[in-house]
Amino acid sequence: MKPLADRLRPKNLDEYIGQEHLIGPKGIIRKMIDSNQLHSMILWGPPGSGKTTLAKLIANLTGRQFYSLNAIDSGVKQVREVIEQAKKGLLWQQDAPILFIDEIHRFSKSQQDALLKAVEQGTVVLIGATTENPSFEIIPPLLSRCQVYQLKPLTKKHLEKILLNAIENDKVLKQKQIIIKQTDELILQSGGDARRLLNLLELIVNYAEKEPIIIDNKTVKSIIQNLPLYHDKQGDYHYDLISAYIKSIRGSDPDAAIYWLARLLESGEDIKFIARRLIISAAEDIGLANPNALLLAQSTFDAVTQVGMPEAKIILAHTTIYLATSPKSNSAYKAINKAIDTVKKTGLLQVPLHLRNAPTQLMQDLGYGNEYKYPHDYPGNFVEQNYLPSELKNVNFYLPADNPQERKILERLKKWWKKRFGKQ
């Protein structure tokens, strides 16, 4: 018998739970399906968010031939074989078939290159599924020929709906007496992964010795404790481990950071993924307290990409310890978030006239660029003038943190901008 997750795959968009922004009444993918006007795409989202299911639905609802490859098991040869089959199929089939590639981020450059011509000529409609940022993992020529659609993590409401749907509609489960008393632990252990949620539900049902089968937090915990713990690069442990790693760096604990790095490396985690997280950590958590951290993190990404394992572990350890022992500041992180929040609240405020570009005589006549003061014409290369929209005059977005580097920055800002920083 098929696993529960396979038995419950939706047969139409109304049965598909989640991703309303893509398949809801105004969703772009729903519109593509309804019109049967498909283009190649990358579905980017966390494990269990419905990427594979959505790809199969697109094929079924548009009546197109569906070819599927898994990047782990397939090479250039398999890609070319499928493309040749697709070409033959086009002789008697009007619509281009769908080529679905799961974990497309694992395809090498040569494997991705093999797809280019077929995608460009419309021999196939490529649907790639990935849990990693396509900007880093998909070669630019292929990425430019695909539209990226981001699938959002499933919410608690989504997962509870999937759970109830399984109990009420699955041909096996609906014959059993199942009583749901609590779902918190089951939802937590699923990690937002619908497939894992259904696997856990099936496990609980199989473990039960008698009916009614009670689902509560205590039951779920007792079963989970008997399961082997492992790191699944496509599952929730992937995110748990990387979260522990980054939080240890943020918390300035080099020993914990190195431990979690070792766990990631021993599990076979992609070293480029780890290096990218170090870049983010350097910018978000260390920031202006130690600007060299970002330079080192970027150099680390370049180095591990060139060197590879096993030596890359030394480079990663070097940077991990450096970041963990660096002074911390999230002032830049807070500044951009505050600025974006302000933009959303205030809308498109006008650029002050003196800051506008004036390439034409008409613009000059309208006052564009008038009264702009060129800082380099003034002592110390600074002159006080308003650079913000008038509605935001004297607003602070950047507030220097209390560390040696930013205390120096604050002194300069106080000297320049007395009204904005002088009272701090």
Give the pLDDT of residue 229. Answer: 45
Distance of CA 156 to the CA centre of its chain: 19
CATH number for the domain spanning 318: value is 1.20.272.10
Query: Is 337 within the bounds of a domain?
Result: no
Domain end residue (candidates: 96, 116, 150) = 150
Q: Are residues 79 and 203 in the same domain?
A: no
Q: How far is CA 160 from CA 3, 181, 188, 190, 223, in A?
A: 19, 12, 11, 11, 19
Question: What are 263-279's pLDDT values in tens digits?
Answer: 898 878 889 989 999 99
Nearest to 128 by CA among 148, 153, 151, 152: 148
Q: What is the DSSP string of 178-228?
A: EEES--HHHHHHHTT-HHHHHHHHHHHHHH--SSSEEE-HHHHHHHHTTSP
Q: Is the pTM of this model over 0.75?
A: no
Rounded Cα distance between 12 and 164, Å, is 18
Question: What are 334-345's pLDDT values in tens digits?
Answer: 999 999 999 988
Q: Are residues 210 and 296 in the same domain?
A: no
* 303 contact partners, CB below 8 Å, separation of at least 6: 312, 315
Q: Are residues 243 and 264 in the same domain?
A: yes
Give the pLDDT of residue 423. Answer: 61
Confidence of residue 226 (pLDDT cuts 50, 70, 90): low
Give the pLDDT of residue 417. Answer: 86
Q: What average pLDDT does range 64-75 have in this prediction? A: 84
Q: Are residues 319 and 262 in the same domain?
A: yes
| Residue 252 Rama label (left phi>0; alpha psi -120 to 50; beta) | left
Domain end residue (candidates: 193, 224, 255) = 224
Which secondary structure element, helix H or strand E, spans residue 331, and what is its range? Answer: helix 331-346
Domains held by the chain: number: 4
Q: Are residues 32 and 124 in the same domain?
A: yes
Q: How far is CA 81 from CA 31, 87, 106, 365, in A?
A: 31, 10, 19, 65
Backbone torsions φ then ψ of 147, nearest 5 degrees: -95, 135
Report whether pLDDT(189) > 60.
Answer: yes
Q: What does the block give as tokens for 84? A: 């040749």
Q: What average pLDDT does range 354-379 have in this prediction? A: 85
Give the pLDDT of residue 233. Answer: 45
Question: What are 373-409's pLDDT values in tens digits?
Answer: 899 988 989 988 888 898 888 888 988 999 999 999 9
CA dihedral sign, ordered 414, 415, 418, 422:
positive
Give the pLDDT of residue 130. Answer: 92
**Highest mean pLDDT: which of 193-202, 203-212, 282-291, 369-378?**
282-291
Rounded Cα distance between 128 and 69, Å, is 10
Q: What does the block give as tokens for 328? A: 């911390």
Rounded Cα distance between 285 and 303, Å, is 22
Q: What average pLDDT does range 248-273 have in this prediction? A: 90
Least confident of 49-58, 114-123, 214-223: 214-223
CATH number for the domain spanning 356: value is 1.10.3710.10
Query: Is 120 within the bounds of a domain?
Result: yes
Q: Are residues 53 and 101 in the same domain?
A: yes
Query: Is 5 within the bounds of a domain?
Result: no
Q: Are residues 142 and 25 in the same domain?
A: yes
Residue ranges making up the domain that contains 287? 236-324
Q: Are residues 161 and 145 in the same domain?
A: no
Q: How far is CA 84 from CA 90, 104, 151, 157, in A?
A: 10, 20, 31, 44
Rounded Cα distance between 145 and 379, Å, is 52
Q: Are residues 297 and 380 in the same domain?
A: no
Domain end residue (candidates: 105, 126, 150) = 150
Calculate the CA dihedral of residues 386, 388, 389, 390 and round it to 10 degrees: -40
Quickly count: other Cβ atoms within 10 Å of residue 343's Cβ.
12
Q: Is 63 helix (H, G, I), strand (E, B) or coil?
A: coil
Q: What average pLDDT does range 298-325 have in this prediction? A: 93
Query: Is 316 within the bounds of a domain?
Result: yes
Backbone torsions φ then ψ of 325, nearest 5 degrees: -95, 5
Q: How far is CA 348 from CA 137, 209, 353, in A?
A: 34, 63, 15
Q: Are residues 141 and 179 in the same domain?
A: no
